Amino acid sequence: MTVTIYDVAREANVSMATVSRVVNGNQNVKPATRKKVLKVIEELGYRPNAVARGLASKKTTTVGVIIPDISNSTYSELARGIEDIATMYRYNIILSNSDQNENKELQLLETMLGKQVDGIVFMSDMITPVLLHELERSPTPIVLAGSIEETGKIASVNIDYFEAAYEAVKKLIENGHLNIAFISGPMTSKINRDYKMKGYREALEDADITFKPELVVECNNSYDEGMQAVLDLKPHKPTAYFVNNDEMAIGVIHAVEEGGQSIPEEVEIISYENSKLARMARPMLSSVALPLYDIGAVSMRLLTKYMNKEEIDENQVILPYRIEERQSTKNDES
94 binds, among DNA, a copy of itself, none (CB under 5 to 8 A by kind): a copy of itself
Please say which residue, 111 or 239, places its beta carbon nearer to a copy of itself.
Answer: 111
Among 16, 95, 106, 207, binds DNA (CB under 7 A): 16
| 82-to-93, 101, 273, 287, 300 alpha-carbon distances in Å | 9, 21, 18, 24, 5
Number of residues interacting with a copy of itself: please give it, by CB under 8 A: 48
Which residue, 19 or 277, is less far from a copy of itself as judged by CB? 277
- 327 in contact with DNA (CB under 7 A): no
Q: Which is nearer to DNA, 140 or 228 (CB)?
A: 140
Tell whether residue 311 is a contact of DNA (CB under 7 A): no
The whole-angstrom separation of Cα 78 and Cα 85 is 11
Distance of alpha carbon 311 from alpha carbon 179, whole angstroms: 49
Rounded to whole angstroms, the Cα distance separating 16 from 36 reads 14
Residue 49: other Cβ atoms inside 10 A: 13
**Is position 279 an interface residue for a copy of itself (rule: CB under 8 A)?**
yes
Q: Is 130 in the site for a copy of itself (CB under 8 A)?
A: no
- Given a copy of itself, DNA, none, residue 21, with its beta carbon under 5 to 8 Å by kind, binds DNA
Single out the residue of 16, 95, 319, 323 in contact with a copy of itself (rule: CB under 8 A).
95
Q: How far is CA 60 from the centre of its chain?
A: 23
As a whole number of angstroms, the distance between CA 77 and CA 74 comes to 5
Q: Which positions from 54 through 113 interact with DNA, judged by CB under 7 A?
A: 55-58
- Paired with 318 in beta bridges are 158
Contact (CB, 8 A) for 94 and 63: yes
Is 121 within 8 Å of 143 (Cβ atoms)? yes
CB 24 within 8 A of CB 53: no
Starting from the edge strand earliest in sequence, which strands make up the sheet with 240-243, in order? 216-218, 180-184, 240-243, 268-273, 286-289, 322-324
47 contacts a copy of itself (rule: CB under 8 A) = yes
Backbone angles phi, psi at 67, to 5 degrees: -130, 145
Number of C-beta neighbours around residue 149 at 10 A = 20
Smallest separation (angstroms) from DNA to the CB of 308: 14
Task: List the single partner that 15 binds among DNA, a copy of itself, none, CB under 5 to 8 Å by kind.
Answer: DNA
**What does the per-residue mask of binding to DNA show for 43-62, with x meaning CB under 7 A?**
---x-xx--xx-xxxx----
Work out how close the CB of 327 gets to a copy of itself at its nearest, in angstroms, rounded to a whole number.
12
Contacts of 170 (CB under 8 A, 6+ apart): 203, 206, 207
Q: Which region holds residue 47: left if phi is over 0, alpha if psi is between -120 and 50, else beta?
A: beta
User: Of these partners, a copy of itself, DNA, none, which one is at the site of residue 29 (CB under 5 to 8 Å by kind)?
Assistant: DNA
Q: Which of residues 237-266 bind DNA (CB under 7 A)?
A: none
Region of 167-175, 243-251, 260-268, 304-312 interacting with a copy of itself (CB under 8 A): 243-251
- 32 makes contact with DNA (CB under 7 A): yes
Distance CA 183, CA 180 (A): 10
The one segment of 94-102, 118-126, 195-203, 323-331 that binds a copy of itself by CB under 8 A: 94-102
Residues that bind DNA (CB under 7 A): 2, 4-6, 13-18, 20-21, 23-24, 27-30, 32-34, 46, 48-49, 52-53, 55-58
Residues binding a copy of itself (CB under 8 A): 2, 47-52, 54-55, 60, 62, 69-73, 76-77, 79-80, 83-84, 87, 92-97, 110-116, 139, 223, 247, 250-251, 254, 276-277, 279-280, 282, 293
